[in-house]
Chains A and B, each alone.
Chain A
Amino acid sequence: MKGNFIDNLPKVYGIYTGGFLGFIILMAIGEQMGMTSKAIGICFVAFTVAIYAIIGYLSRTAQADAYYVAGRQVPTVFNGMATAADWMSGASFVAMAGGIYFKGYGYMALLVGWTGGYVLVASLLAPYLRKFGCYTVPDFIGTRYGGNLTRFLAVVVLTVASFTYVTAQINATGTIASVALDIPFQYAVYVGLVSILLCSMLGGMRGVTWTQVAQYIVLIIAYLLPVFWISNKIGAGFFPHFMLADEVARIGELEQQFGFIKNSAADLANVPKGLAGITKAHSAVNASPWAFISLALAMMMGTASLPHVMMRYFTTPSVKAARKSVGWSLFFIFLLYSSAPMLATLSKLSLMDPNLSTGIIGKSIADVQAIDWYQNWNAANLMFVSDFNGNGTLELNEFFMGGKAVVLATPEIAGLPYVISGLVAAGGMAAAMSTADGLILAIANAISHDVYYKIIDPKAETAKRLVVARVLLVVIGFAGATIAAMEIQGILGSVIWAFDFAMSGLFFPLVLGVWWKRANKEGAIAGMALGLASGMGYLIWVRNGGSGFLGITQLTFGIFGSAVSLVAMVVVSLMTQEPDKATQKMVDDVRVPSGKSILGKQH
């Protein structure tokens, strides 16, 4: 190939996509020729992970700006894809359709929140932080406000939020690796971790960027293919997004017909932990306006404060490109997010509608228990039926499923060939790995660049800095995997907490750093410290039986934390001296795209 790598990107990833589609066809042929489902699952996960590892190896680097910001030469559209993979985690891929399936409208606040946040990223922060020329988010805070304490506090908030998030992702890679490779979860977690480190160890941000693009391609194919296939198979329409209105209405009818019967506590005690039944109407508005809006708002402000997303925009060639790139990111995210409710609809209809051959509600319990896929997923502790009322037929309130099963099991339920299930496993793995990589790198870079290089040893040589960064990467990865192996919290729960932590401590210090010249060091310190402390305090209080106030729950505690942060920052800033001339000049320079970046190319 002629020219350099960047110019050839469309060609390289075109060939890659073609190769991946070829691999899927090869596996489909293998299935027809009698390949076992276990072998197909192993092939999918092993093949894709091997490709990422090769990309990770090819992207190895010994330069600081390549390691920290991929040399700032990632084109707009590709950065959008990488950000989308970085963003869409195991929670988006595996858990979101399940959340919508069970909770309906109340959960769709996450769809609005996790996309609306990008408007804040594009308009309030990304272009300005790109102009700043920082390597990490604490780099911005530390330089804008001055002093090691601000830098250190930003690292603390970043670490708390990202670490909460990353344990959930390692948990998700472990879950998928354990199902696909058929090994115990405790070991699978470490298999997942090694795969994650293979992508980021040698190339840092550069390696992560090019693997994330590859992972996006895998995950989007793995998500969309089953949605389109199922929709066509059950005759719901060839383009599901525009054609499922009748199906949504039909689910409403069936819900009326079957009725929502509340199970007694004694009956529910038999249901395995983590499984749920359908208790909420599919398309009705079942949450109060404030419950919906507060969750969406918390997720939007959290989006704008999460460092692993923000640092993706440090890699674009220009400020202009950073803005456009946010649009592309959201477009690629939109492709998956707008499909999640469609998948939930198709999954629910496949299970509920007695007119479809796949429908199980209303069939006899013994028949359902004899179905192959039911036995498999029941053995994996993700599905359960029980004849509570003793009439021998399966009622709506007698069927239980794990949230993850909606994405992972629906292809099998709808009668698609196993090759699709293998593909979905590879997609889930890609989603969780790409996010985990971004997060571990964000933490390791912040500690190596901001704590080690900027605070402890400012004279360190580049080679030494990068060794420190890599050692931290491994240490943080292992710490995350160890905690993930303990399985303390569900995937979706910990992800939402991460957003709340990030917005409590970082949202206003970041935004006001650009938009309010008067904001000073003392204000930022108060904003970060009090914001994070009050958010965390509120969470602990509510978790221990506290009643909370204003309808702020343990999923939206960031609203309280960030409000405290805002007030503290404004009051303390106004009580103390305004920033010096040099800092004000710096803010002015950040506000215009042209001219030199604030921090040098190598710093």
Chain B
Amino acid sequence: MSNQQKHWEKTRGLLIMTLAIWFVFSIGIFLFGAEMNEVTGPFGYPWTYWFTCQGSLGIFVILIFWFANRQEKIDEEFGFSEREDD
């Protein structure tokens, strides 16, 4: 397998992991919205309410930065990162 194929395989793996986390916090948890809202969560808000107004949103921000860093590492590993003067 060529260098490029390996790079793409790892990139795809990272994509799947990112989308799985994304799926849990954008769709998965809201399947149980009603049940989850019965429980008190962070700062005293009901759990579902907190996820809709802060939790999921904040997790997405962190997720994107995490993804960007991981992808940079993958690019470096296979020597595909951009030269600084590009």
Contacts and interface: CB of A to CB of B under 8 A. Distances in A.
Interface in B26-61: 26-27, 30-34, 37, 43-46, 48-49, 51-54, 56-58, 60-61
Contact of B82 (A111, A115, A320, A330): A320
Interface string A116-137: 1011101110010000000000
Contact of B37 (A122, A242, A284, A592): A284
A296 interface: yes
B52 A112 contact: yes
A223 to B, nearest CB: 15
Nearest to B37: A285
A35 interface: no
A220 to B, nearest CB: 15
Nearest to B62: A327
B18 to A, nearest CB: 5
A142 to B, nearest CB: 24
Contacts, number: 143
A127 B72 CA distance: 11
A330 B53 contact: no
A116 B83 contact: no
Contacts of A337: 57
Contacts of A320: 68, 72, 75, 81-82
Given A285-B48, A293-B31, A124 B57 contact: no
A592 B81 CA distance: 8
Interface string A244-286: 1110110000000000000000000000000000000001110
Given A338-B53, A594-B82, 11 more contacts: A116-B22, A119-B19, A243-B43, A283-B45, A284-B37, A285-B33, A285-B34, A293-B30, A320-B72, A326-B64, A592-B4
A-B residue pairs, 8 tightest by C-beta:
A245-B44, A341-B53, A108-B52, A116-B26, A323-B68, A327-B64, A592-B80, A327-B65
A318 interface: yes
A115 B61 CA distance: 8
B52 A297 contact: no
A123 B15 contact: yes
Contact of A122 (B45, B48, B49, B68): B68
B79 to A, nearest CB: 8
A454 interface: no
Contacts of B49: 105, 248, 283
A123 B67 contact: yes
Contacts of B26: 112-113, 116, 119, 296-297, 300
Interface in A280-314: 283-285, 287, 289, 292-293, 296-297, 300
A330 B61 contact: yes
Interface bin, chain A: 35 or more
A84 B11 CA distance: 27
Given A285-B34, A293-B27, A324-B68, A318 B45 contact: no
A384 B48 CA distance: 32
Contacts of B83: 594
A112 B45 contact: no
Interface of A: 105, 108-109, 111-113, 115-116, 118-120, 122-124, 127, 241-246, 248-249, 283-285, 287, 289, 292-293, 296-297, 300, 318-320, 323-324, 326-327, 330-331, 334, 337-338, 340-342, 588, 591-594
A323 B43 contact: no
- Secondary structure dominating the interface of A: helix
9 contacts: A112-B52, A115-B60, A116-B25, A123-B18, A245-B43, A289-B31, A293-B31, A323-B68, A334-B61
B68 A334 contact: no
A222 B71 CA distance: 36
Contact of A120 (B22, B27, B58, B81): B22
Given A112-B52, A246-B44, A334-B61, A594 B80 contact: yes
Contacts of A318: 82, 86
Contacts of A109: 52
Nearest to A248: B45
A340 B54 CA distance: 10
Contacts of B81: 320, 593-594
B57 A338 contact: yes
Contacts of A245: 43-45
B60 A330 contact: yes
Nearest to B86: A318
Given A112-B56, A115-B57, A320-B81, A592 B75 contact: yes
B67 to A, nearest CB: 6
B64 A338 contact: no
Best-buried of B11, B56, B61, B71 by chain A (most CB within 10 Å)? B61
A198 B72 CA distance: 39
Nearest to B18: A123
Nearest to B43: A242
Contact of B61 (A241, A292, A331, A588): A331
A318 B82 CA distance: 8
A119 B22 contact: yes
Nearest to B27: A293
A115 B56 contact: yes
Contacts of A108: 52-53
A327 B68 contact: yes
Contacts of B64: 118-119, 122, 323, 326-327, 330
B27 A296 contact: yes
Contacts of A283: 37, 45-46, 49
B67 A323 contact: yes
Nearest to A107: B52
B57 to A, nearest CB: 5
A334 B19 contact: no
A118 B79 CA distance: 27
Nearest to B34: A285
A289 B61 CA distance: 24
Contact of B58 (A118, A319, A338): A338
Best-buried of B14, B18, B49 by chain A (most CB within 10 Å)? B49
Nearest to B5: A588
